[in-house]
Amino acid sequence: MLKSPLLTGRSLLRRSLAVAICLGVDLALFLSSFGFGGVDWIGGTAPTWTVAALLMLGHAVLGTVRSPWAGYTVFLALIVVRPLIPSLDPFAGYALALFLMARAPVPRHAWLALAGAAVAVVFNTIGVYRIDSAPGPSGSIAVSVFIFLLVYVTVWTVGRMLGRSDRRLIRHQATALEAREAALAEERLRISRELHDSVAHSLTAIVLQSAGARTALRRRAASEEEMAQLLSGIESTASQSMRELHRMLGMLRTPDPEDILNPADACLRRGPDQAPLHGLDEIGELVETVRESGVDVVSTVSGVPVPVDPSVGHTAYRVVQEGLSNVMKHAGPGTRAQVTLEWRPARLVLSVRNTQGTSSPAASVSGGFGLAGLRERLDVAGGTLQAGPTSDGYLLQVGVPTTVGTDTPLPTPEEH
């Protein structure tokens, strides 16, 4: 859609105010010099209002047209005809037009305006010469040339400096906006990973537990106490999922922009009730939840544990969660899973290995982004990931650094 050629809003107000001041200055200079009598007009005389009308016309174009080229061209034309109309002196208006051209974003336009200023000096000097009736006008002409050059060069220089400052500010604002958009996009990706990891795992467990309860009811193979235990497990898993969602929504509703761009720090500031960061100490509870869904899980820890950064602990929790979630979804009934945490020098190695069971009725409950999300997490944490089938099942193995330094590659699953 084409934009209106007229200025609008605050730009119009600022330029209108500047134009009004310049018009007042030009009219005051004209009237103080020539009064209200007739003025020379191309070899004859004309009423005073004709010059005043030309001045007002030039200022009106400069104040209303968006492009400064129109106003500058009109004022330069008025100066060019000054030798024919000596009393026509748009001094302040032309200075403002030159300033606006110098401040323009295109350098070529500013330099063309400066070249036009040289033309304006020449024709203004001729006009002054015609007005000056003294026998030796060289002194007044020299002073006029000096004043015109000083004013025009000063105005043009100030305009160029402000134009550069404006363009620098625009570039900085664009860079800041791009950085903010990138940060928000990264945060949306992080939130999507969190939702996949937490909700998909919980829903998978609920589906499996519900399928087990339905099978037990149909076959009448479970007592009332066992059914109550199965339903209690479903309720516990659903409650955990709801807490995860509330934590995530609490983070999304934050009024502080810094919390959006630094969610991990914000979570730590809010405390454990709202922080969506899980840790290594919750892996045991995670394993127990999977056991309640009917999967045989064994958990072992070797080595000497060391304190780790909360982000590393959260990554480790999500790795185990994703591995066990995949076991529940894809391995099927009769599978066995083993979760291993091995503390090595400068890194922690986590493994989730399972044997293959029969087909799983929950295999369709998958978004397909689990391993991709883990790779993104590990890229940020500086870890490594190996995942693939083994001779009797599947292995997910991850190494995350526990101290500052680079992590070493893990062997492929076939080497185990």
Shared domain for 355 and 405, answered yes or no, is yes
Chosen domain end from 176, 193, 224: 176
181 is a domain residue: yes
pLDDT in tens, 9-20: 677 788 888 888
Shared domain for 211 and 320, answered yes or no, is yes
pLDDT in tens, 220-235: 766 777 777 777 777 7
Shared domain for 171 and 218, answered yes or no, is no
Shared domain for 166 and 263, answered yes or no, is no
Chosen domain end from 152, 176, 200: 176
pLDDT given at position 341: 92
We report the CATH number of the domain holding residue 370 as 3.30.565.10
pLDDT given at position 4: 41
Shared domain for 14 and 44, answered yes or no, is yes
Contact 60, 99 (CB under 8 A): no
Kindly report the pTM of this predicted structure.
0.47
Determine if residue 351 is left, alpha or beta; phi over 0 gives left, psi from -120 to 50 gives alpha, anything else beta.
Answer: beta
405 is a domain residue: yes
Residue owning tokens 């007009």? 41
319 is a domain residue: yes
Q: Which residues of the chain have pLDDT under 50?
A: 1-5, 134-138, 255, 257-258, 260-261, 263-265, 267-275, 360-368, 405-408, 412-416
Shared domain for 355 and 206, answered yes or no, is yes
Shared domain for 379 and 238, answered yes or no, is yes
pLDDT given at position 358: 56
3 is a domain residue: no
Shared domain for 210 and 75, answered yes or no, is no
192 is a domain residue: yes
Shared domain for 196 and 140, answered yes or no, is no
Shared domain for 172 and 222, answered yes or no, is no
34 is a domain residue: yes
Question: How far is the first Cα of the chain from the last one, in angstroms, to the nearest whole number?
Answer: 65
- Give the neighbor-by-neighbor strand order of the sheet with 347-355: 296-302, 336-344, 347-355, 393-401, 384-389
Pairing of strands 296-302, 336-344: parallel
Question: Strand runs (DSSP E) across 135-211, as ranges?
Answer: none
Shared domain for 198 and 144, answered yes or no, is no
87 is a domain residue: yes
Chosen domain end from 159, 176, 193: 176
DSSP 93-126: HHHHHHHHHHTSS-HHHHHHHHHHHHHHHHHHHH
Shared domain for 172 and 253, answered yes or no, is no
pLDDT given at position 364: 43
Residues with Cβ within 8 Å of residue 70, at least 6 apart in sequence: 61, 62
Range of the domain at 403: 177-415
354 is a domain residue: yes
pLDDT given at position 387: 86
Provide the token pair at 254. Answer: 């934050």
- Count of domains in the chain? 2
Contact 303, 344 (CB under 8 A): yes
Contact 405, 346 (CB under 8 A): yes
